[in-house]
Amino acid sequence: MCIRDRGDPRWKNADSAIFLNLAMEELQNAGYRIVNIDTTLVLAAPKIAPIAGEMRARVADLLNVNMEQVSIKAKTPEGLGLDHVAQCHAVALVERVPEPDELKSMSAVIETTRQLEDVVEDLVTSVHGVPKKRTLTPIFDTEDIT
């Protein structure tokens, strides 16, 4: 599905970061992350050296990756018959995000009802600030009342 239709006036002068954010959301929802990005700008007079670092930093920030994971280079369209056309080719290497091994089901860890009650009580205390309930120990044995 194409997010941006060239003829659609709604997208005229729209910030391309919007489309990149949408693509990143789709990638993350599918369970993947970016390993690296390699881009090539094809321009009639590519003089990006003075701003290449800034461009890499901006792309890295938008993609939430380290700057070392972003490559931006430029070349001329010499021999391609595209002298008056600006192009950008981008390739992203992605990998599946592994499921964390340390996350386990509560039932796999908790063995008794008392352990479960302790965990719930600790969570309620630490997250919501509710003080732990005090248990009263009777002074005498209530089972032995005659």
Q: What is the pLDDT of residues 55-71, one digit of tens each?
A: 999 999 999 999 999 99
Q: What is the pLDDT of residues 88-110, one digit of tens each?
A: 899 999 999 887 665 566 666 67
Answer whether 33's CB lies under 8 Å from 94's CB: yes
pTM, to two decimals: 0.58
Residues β-bridged to residue 106: none
CATH of 13-96, picked from 3.30.1330.50, 3.90.420.10, 3.20.20.70, 3.40.640.10, is 3.30.1330.50
**Could you tell me the residue ranges of all domains in the chain?**
13-96, 106-144
- Phi/psi for 64 (5° steps) reads 60, 45
